Amino acid sequence: MFASRGRASIPRVLEGMDPAPLRELRLLDADLLLTVEGGDLWIEGSFEAQGEGFCDRCSEPVTLRIGKAFQTFLTPKSRDRVAAGSVELHEEDLDVGFYDGTGVESNDILWEQVALELPLQVVCCEGCRGICPVCGKNRNLEACSCVAGEAKGPFEILKNLKGKKE
């Protein structure tokens, strides 16, 4: 089975998706091949996306690209549930999903794969030094003479309570 929606539909595939921690995410390219075999769906695909956000350490704008090639297997939910409940899963079984048997939405497949590739933390570079908690300067752009530990935290008052009982 082969179906094509054309390259013009690619940018709209991620509409409505929450790209957090990024503020914006665009799908640049995607390929999806679905093969049906006895009710089972074998899915092979790849995607490339570009997102914008802000560095979690220094708050500078960041543009990053994500992408991957993937394979997954979908089987109908109705297939032998009793036997499936007593089967031990192995590592190769982790790419198995289930569908209701009436059809599969290709956008959902891509959404899932894109969501799995979203970073947990957005950083401009691995060596980002962040913002000084004392003076607020971006330590990537200029050095500051602040001493680490100089800033008082919100729990500083609790240090005074140690050993005191009322």
Each of the 166 residues of the chain gets a pLDDT tens digit; together they read 334 555 555 666 777 888 889 999 999 999 999 898 888 889 999 999 999 999 999 999 999 999 999 998 888 887 655 445 555 656 665 667 888 867 788 888 888 999 999 999 999 999 999 999 888 899 999 988 887 665 566 777 777 776 655 5
CA 41 to chain centre: 24
119 contact partners, CB below 8 Å, separation of at least 6: 21, 22, 64, 66
Beta bridge partners of 36: 41
Under 8 Å between Cβ of 48 and 25: no
Under 8 Å between Cβ of 34 and 72: no
CA 8 to CA 73: how far, in whole Å?
27
pTM: 0.70
**Each residue's pLDDT tens digit, 40-80:** 889 999 999 999 999 999 999 999 999 999 998 888 887 65
**DSSP class of 93:** G
